[in-house]
Structure 1
């Protein structure tokens, strides 16, 4: 039986977008009618990849300075967005679409709209202790208490809470999860949700061993980017593909060694991921899940002051799948960590994680969860 499914996407970073694309593709392949509610570059990205998209208001706006999350400015900017009109617009979309079930990826306006209309809803998150953003700044600790009450109230009311991570004991984002006892029965782990299945991807023809750097060369990450180039120049036996982002002036960078290629943009990173021996990236959860689903270890440089990314990186290292790196790491320290990784330090564990991801089949598991919720209602 074909279902109407509405997916709401948090547009703060493409991690949410990538895993929602995986969910949308799987649901569409199964014959369901899928609509995505998204905003900003997220809506553009989904539309370019063939999804039916409806524009929704931004729910939160994250503001950072010099590599750190600025909580005060983030709160002010989010307040400016105006949540009451936003909820009205989202509710209108739900009423127009009349979905059988809703998947909301960290987009709480969509979750509230579903609860108000008594539509089955699954909330997808990789962090349930968001109050720590406030607790780390004494000026906003009172808001942290309010945030905790709000999120815990939501977790109690939704039909399912989806964690797009490996089940215990292999959960990478474990340090970011904290559910009250009466919410735990609704929590389900789907495993990774890569936008492209490993078996469907043709590997890029790259010289081995090969390192894929996703750090980028802008702003506060520029010094790390330069030190990675320096590390590449110190060992010509290890090859690198460096993604810089469009618009970076190559003249501002140190000379590239012959074993490193600089690319401003790759429309599809999965062929490169399938062919590399190591990824270097910040601390985003989805990037980690994609790498591990492909059996690739990671050196993670989490953003400073971003506790969620730092916890992800700590979990990555604790599970033996890579290493948490510091922004102050020298080129020699980076090279030492790269050598360890390409020489197989994490290979056994990441191969296990790749195999486990294939066995779980995250997109299929998520589809079945949503189908069960909808069919129970019909």
Structure 2
């Protein structure tokens, strides 16, 4: 059994849900190859998988880490964007011809789907964003119309050309990415909501009390876990702001931050209240041991928050429409508070932390957590992949 995994290479959200699948399939004797770029390429190789680099598509970012929507869609411009996509398709065609996979698994990438269709290879797509949303602000109005009626609108047809589309989210009314999932009726028969794909579930770990002792969290301390990841230009301005805000926190809090650098799995900075790691291998132990999470509004982090029953403070990347939509849904469901990056200070962050700890947020996330226990995205994805292996 030969499997090709082709995730979007921006950040760790896409690769993060394919790596557990790849490990499970490898343990069953599968031969696994990755084709990707960016952070995902480095992470796949760190996890011990062979990985082929393909041409990169990236979001343009401003100095404050916010997404520059106009430059992302106009620089290098529609012609060169299509040229890069064509290069990606050609690269995937070469990989598939040489590797001869039984199944291709794409995570939010169009080119491996197109290449698989051209070569008549089964392809399964995993995604939580069927559409790309551009804000209806005056300065983006022309871009939003182009997105709706131009090249980006074609994406939904490409996703639907897959043999199956798996959405690692919950059905309504708990769909966190619902604002990004405007799925045309004619495509819905191919779509299945499977729940999050996790390498480790809470009931597979020791108790919260045992983990707090293992992680040296003193009795009576409130543990805040801040797993920050994403492209470097987006995350480092945020990390700097967050560290400054945390420095002034009272002694009753202990903060553990991970800055999403897999090649640095060690402690970078330490004082009595805060530890900053380049990467934590035991992320899910911290998720179970903590009292709340502070992070960006990436889909995977929100899924982890629900599955581990933890309330969360979200700081969406400015102008990142997917994260803004995710954050609004999490707030509407009642288990998250949302802060603007530009308004973060010791006072605003501490006020939000105290509000989320001393209110109904924890009860609400536990209620949603009971629903989440009915889903096992890992097993559902495995069944679908194996069903398409001839």
TM-score normalised according to structure 2 size: 0.83
Which residue among 101, 110, 113 is the counterpart of 1:111? 113
Q: How does 1:119-268 map to 2 (within 5 A)?
A: 119-132=121-134, 137-144=140-147, 145-201=149-205, 203=211, 204-205=214-215, 206-207=217-218, 208-215=221-228, 218-230=236-248, 232=249, 235-243=250-258, 258-268=272-282
TM-aligned CA deviation for residue 142 of structure 1? 5.0
- Cα RMSD between the aligned structures? 2.8
**Aligned partner of residue 218 in structure 1, secondary structure:** helix
Task: Please give the alpha-carbon distance, in whole angstroms, between the structure 2 residues aligned to 1:312 and 1:305.
Answer: 13
**Aligned partner of residue 222 in structure 1, secondary structure:** helix
TM-score normalised according to structure 1 size: 0.86
TM-aligned CA deviation for residue 73 of structure 1? 2.8
Report the count of equivalent residues.
363
Task: Please give the alpha-carbon distance, in whole angstroms, between the structure 1 residues aligned to 2:303 and 2:50.
Answer: 25
TM-aligned CA deviation for residue 199 of structure 1? 4.2
In structure 2, what is the equivalent of residue 49 of structure 1? Answer: 47
Task: Please give the alpha-carbon distance, in whole angstroms, between the structure 2 residues aligned to 1:325 and 1:274.
Answer: 23
In structure 2, what is the equivalent of residue 250 of structure 1? Answer: none
Which residue among 333, 337, 351 is the counterpart of 2:348? 333
Task: Please give the alpha-carbon distance, in whole angstroms, between the structure 2 residues aligned to 1:289 and 1:93.
Answer: 32
In structure 2, what is the equivalent of residue 317 of structure 1? Answer: 331
TM-aligned CA deviation for residue 310 of structure 1? 0.7
| Long gaps (5+) in structure 1 | 248-252
2:314 paired with 1:300: yes
Counterpart contact for 1:130–1:147, Cα < 8 Å: no
TM-aligned CA deviation for residue 85 of structure 1? 2.8
In structure 2, what is the equivalent of residue 10 of structure 1? Answer: 8
| Long gaps (5+) in structure 2 | 230-234, 264-268
TM-aligned CA deviation for residue 63 of structure 1? 1.3
Task: Please give the alpha-carbon distance, in whole angstroms, between the structure 2 residues aligned to 1:125 and 1:147.
Answer: 19
2:51 paired with 1:64: no
Counterpart contact for 1:156–1:182, Cα < 8 Å: no
Once the two structures are superposed, residues 248-272 of structure 1 have per-residue CA deviations (whole angstroms, 9 ceiling, x without a partner) of xxxxx9xx87333343443442222
Change (3 A) 1:198 1:38: farther
